[in-house]
Amino acid sequence: MNGLQVHAIDGSMIVAPKGPDKLLSIRKKAKDDTLVFVIAPICDGELELTHLLDAAKGHDERLWGMMESRTDAWTSLVEDLIAASHRSAVLQEIKEGFAAVEDILRAVWLVGDFSEGANRYIDAIVGGWAASLLREAFLSSGVQTRVLHVRDVVDHKDFPYSEEETILLTGELYQSETAPGDRDAEFTAALVGNHLGASSITFWHPDRLVTTADEQDVPSATVIDCLTYAEATELSFFGSPVIHPQHMVPAMAKRIPLYLRSFSHPEHPGTFIDDKKGSESTRPVKGFSVIREISLINVEGAGMIGVPGVARRLFAAMHESDISVVLISQASSEYSICYAVPAEQAALACAIARSTFSDEIAAHRIQNIDVEMGCAILAAVGERMTGVPGISGTFFSALGKAHVNVRAIAQGSSERNISVVIKEEDAKKALRALHAGFFLSNQAISVGLFGPGNIGGTLLNQIAHEARRLNDEFGVDIRIRAIANSSKMLLDDQGIDLTNWRKLFAQKGEKLDIKRMVKHVSASYFPHAVLVDCTTSATLPVHYVDWIERGIHIVTPNKKAGTAAYPEYRKLMDAGRRYGKHFLYETTVGAGLPVIGTLKDLIQTGDRVRSVEGIVSGTLAYLFSNYDGSVPFSTLVKGAKDMGYTEPDPRDDLSGMDVARKSVILAREMGYKVEVSDIAITSLVPEPLRDVPLSEFLDKMSMMDAHIESLYNKAKSEGKRLRYVGRVAEDGTCNVELAAYPESHPFAQSKGTDNVVAFTTERYHVQPLVIQGPGAGPEVTAGGVFADLLRLSAYLGARL
């Protein structure tokens, strides 16, 4: 036999745009099952009619105009949602219904009052219209459908129904004793499902799903796929807005599987509540909830120790005064009892406690009864927390890292729930910390990027292309949560959609606030934070030490920090070691080539580095690998500029300053206290052109040609080739020059923009260790920065 499904829906879902289409899709997906829809009254200001009772009671002259507008609204709705061939029956029912409502309103007008029964009666009439509208929409699509009064089904011992039938139940719904009037369709649907032996029951919420935490508090919260009934009850008690445990009781009685779904996202399967399926989940913690506006009352005194009946007297007094005690915590010494109550009951609860123990207070057996306002209760819920070592450790460690102070702790013997009382102002921070601690991968990295230009933009595109693979294969979860240029920034709690980052940055970017951006990236609920500086700015590196002290790692191709005044450089390096944070700058010398990494490996494994020299400017490498005297050197420079190989001002390359900075970085890596000002630099820019405007320089570049041609011819006559190199000697002396090398030398054999770096060491003294490869271009530099990010992930424990 096919199954029977019961669905609780709001009448507003039927009359919403595309509402009947969504419900028809739900019907069709059920295939051969019988479907029962329990329909709640419509809550729509334009369509519901119960508020007209107040107008009639108050003799509001606008009443009849309001009636006319409601009639027009319902007529238009039918015309919009139902095919013309199926409208007449519904329109006639609406006409008769409005006549009945008008009679009631006239009676209320005369007597000046109305009963709750009148409210329910009008709700039932309007609910009947919604059901009839849906019936006709279904019938027009060939779906067998009938409308019944809900009590005709529940009061019928053996209610008959046929397979593939759709039943719409309306009328006065049943109400839960503990939550009357609050989404009664859910409770009624559970009763109907219990009565008919349903195979499943579904509660449709207008727009929300059950998530691991409230999305307003934790934007990265995800939908919980399954829960046990006990877990669902625990989450609901602590404020989950979608779950109402009183409504589940009839379903729980027969252990009928229950679905909690969202009508705004009908394609999503939602949350499945079932004891068997829910208990099979491997997650020890299913979700977190919080109750705000709580006060904590503390009763303490040495006179309570070993005295029986103290707790009974206290909580009996609370019960007699109808005070809701939400949480209780007692020290094993019995010296103190604290309990949480709703904030609005705090003053009364404290007064009653003092009255109850007035004799003990007078005799100093109870020293203090006080109240702490502005608290919240935060709870972690999960059936499998029972017996799993380390859950409490993870829970309190996460709170500690977020600097959240715990006022009180409670855990039931079932170990299904851990609850703590904290300050309400810390609730959001605490939720995010706990959510990250239990649900985020330990390799989740919160990333902020400065400079989404050539290198930074290419890096973002590379991460977008590889992110899923890195997560799936290695558990590396890179979240780009901030992007900034010199004027604006884009922030996102969960991570910016990198497939569309340029459009998002253009449309949603806001004014740059570096402090706010850094605070956002370093959110305590992410296990790791890193800032990537892809700019050439001299101002951002000034903040590196402060960022490291805040617990943020730094990755950059920006050479400014590595070549700053030595005391500042040393301060940066020491900060990284002191705070256990990484400063990764591989791309500052060789773009994507492992120059610094190789140098570090040589030194750390005990090799003695005698010298490091190399072609480390992609621009100058291109110029001298292509210069053969056939065209003037200035013409070659102009062509390189037009192709984007040089800086906008070619003097930035030709001056040798870029090579000098890279040489300083290498020298400092070798342990030498070198400043840029210490280096002898052979500039290729004629002295008269060094300080003139760019346009004048470009006009007079030919002043370089004769000198370069002379050097080239001399080198050629000796069987050598010109290459522009930086060199660090064994004693730390650095120089930057245009030198001639034999054709057999690795430098002479370089092509295009290749960088070539040679390490001469005690191990590599006969033949130097040579690294060669492309040294310019956004792709290779961005790839090097990406490699540093992944290197950081490995340092932090990724299985790369």
Q: Which residues are catalytic?
A: 662
Tell me the two tokens of residue 138.
Answer: 């279904």
Which DSSP helix (H) or strand (E) runs through 404?
none
Helix (H) or strand (E) holding 615: strand 609-615
- Residue 52 corresponds to which tokens in the numbers above? 């007209």
SS3 string of 632-683?
CHHHHHHHHHHCCCCCCCCHHHHCCHHHHHHHHHHHHHCCCCCCHHHCEECC
DSSP string, 327-392: EEEE-TTSSEEEEEEEGGGHHHHHHHHHHHTHHHHHTTSS-EEEEEEEEEEEEEE-GGGTT-TTHH
DSSP SS3 for 221? coil
| Residue 299: other Cβ atoms inside 10 A | 26
The whole-angstrom separation of Cα 659 and Cα 643 is 21
CB burial of 622-648 (b: ≥16 within 10 Å; e: otherwise) equals: bbbbebeeeebbbebbbebbeeebbee
Phi, psi of 775 (to 5 degrees): -120, 10
Please, are residues 273 and 259 in contact by the beta-carbon 8 Å criterion?
yes
Question: At 130, is the secondary structure helix, strand, or coil?
Answer: helix
User: Residue 308 corresponds to which tokens in the numbers above?
Assistant: 């029986």
Length of the chain: 800
Give the integer Cα–Cα distance in Å for 182 and 175.
Answer: 8
- Pair 220, 279: CB distance under 8 Å: no
| CA distance linking residue 545 with residue 554, whole number of Å | 10
What Rg value do the Cα atoms of the chain yield, rounded?
37
All residues at 6 or more sequence positions from 328 whose CB lies less than 8 Å from its CB, including other chains: 315, 337, 338, 339, 340, 410
